[in-house]
Structure 1
Amino acid sequence: MKKNPIIPFILIMAFGIGLIFFLSMEGVSNKEEIAATEEAAEGGAAEGEATAGSFDPEAFAQGKCISCHGNTYEGQGSFPALVGTALSEDEIKDVLANGKGAMPGGLVPAENIDAMAAWVKSLE
């Protein structure tokens, strides 16, 4: 008796469809938990950012600044070093708020500019 080579593929397809069905039923039964998790993620800060009470300038810089200023903030290409900058803290605040050269303004939320400028100035 000759075996049909398509039967294993049909069995795999049927198993896959059944698995998808049962996993979707699991999702339906946990929809409140999933919605709460997604709502918490949306209500929280975006990646690399934090809320005003818990702003972490270094974590923010890791998410936003290293792509231009380098992993060690010592500058790269036409982007200046943040380490040992000659700018005053007020000048740093102005650059963070309004941008300068290739750096756009508004990367740092307004309520966190003071903390970010102090952190940049502390890089020595």
Structure 2
Amino acid sequence: MKNTVLIALAILVIGIGGFFILSNVQDQRESAQETPAQQEGKEGAVSKEGAVSKVDGESIYKKTCVSCHGDQYQGGVGPSLKGVGSRLSDKEIEDIIQHGRGGMPAGLVSKEDAPGMAAWLKTLK
């Protein structure tokens, strides 16, 4: 009886592990099939100078910003970020990211990632 439980548990663990491995492989295949335009928002944004940022703005946003600015950038506790690039300059956005503003605390994004995050935010429509 004890061996049967251990075998069943081992099969379950192997099955779950296999599921996660296969899921990751599928995600990688889908990512490889995306066009550069589809990947742009995931990998970084293009600044005015034409340099591609290595900052994954969407991931940073989901981790640190979504609770106040909304899941569609529509605002909530914080203001809407839709079209922020037409309202503020790159430097103004970067300054707010680094130093906060109003109820937004400073330091939510690292100093190194702030320029790339600002460039990504400029792309929001």
TM-score (norm 1): 0.55
2:54 touches 2:116 (CA, 8 Å); kept in 1? no
**Partner SS, residue 111 of structure 1:** coil
Distance 1:96 1:122 in 2: 15
Number of aligned residue pairs: give it.
78
Structure 1 residues 72 and 108, CA, compared in 2 at 3 Å: closer, same or farther?
same
Unmatched runs of 5 consecutive residues or more in structure 2: 7-52
RCO (CA 8 Å, sep 6+): is it higher in 1 or 2? 2
Within the alignment, does 1:123 sit opposite 2:124 as a pair? yes
Alignment of 1:1-124 (within 5 A): 54-76=54-76, 78-85=77-84, 86-124=87-125
1:82-120 per-residue CA deviation (whole Å, 9 max, x = no partner) reads 111111111001101110001011110111111000011
1:42-72 per-residue CA deviation (whole Å, 9 max, x = no partner) reads xxxxxxxxxxx95311111011111000000
Q: Percent identity?
A: 44
What do you get for the CA RMSD once the two structures are aligned? Answer: 2.4
Distance 1:55 1:109 in 2: 11
1:1-24 per-residue CA deviation (whole Å, 9 max, x = no partner) reads xxxxxxxxxxxxxx8xxx9xxxxx
Return structure 1 stretches of 4+ with deviation > 6 angstroms.
Answer: none
Unmatched runs of 5 consecutive residues or more in structure 1: 1-14, 20-52
Q: Which has the larger radius of gyration?
A: 1
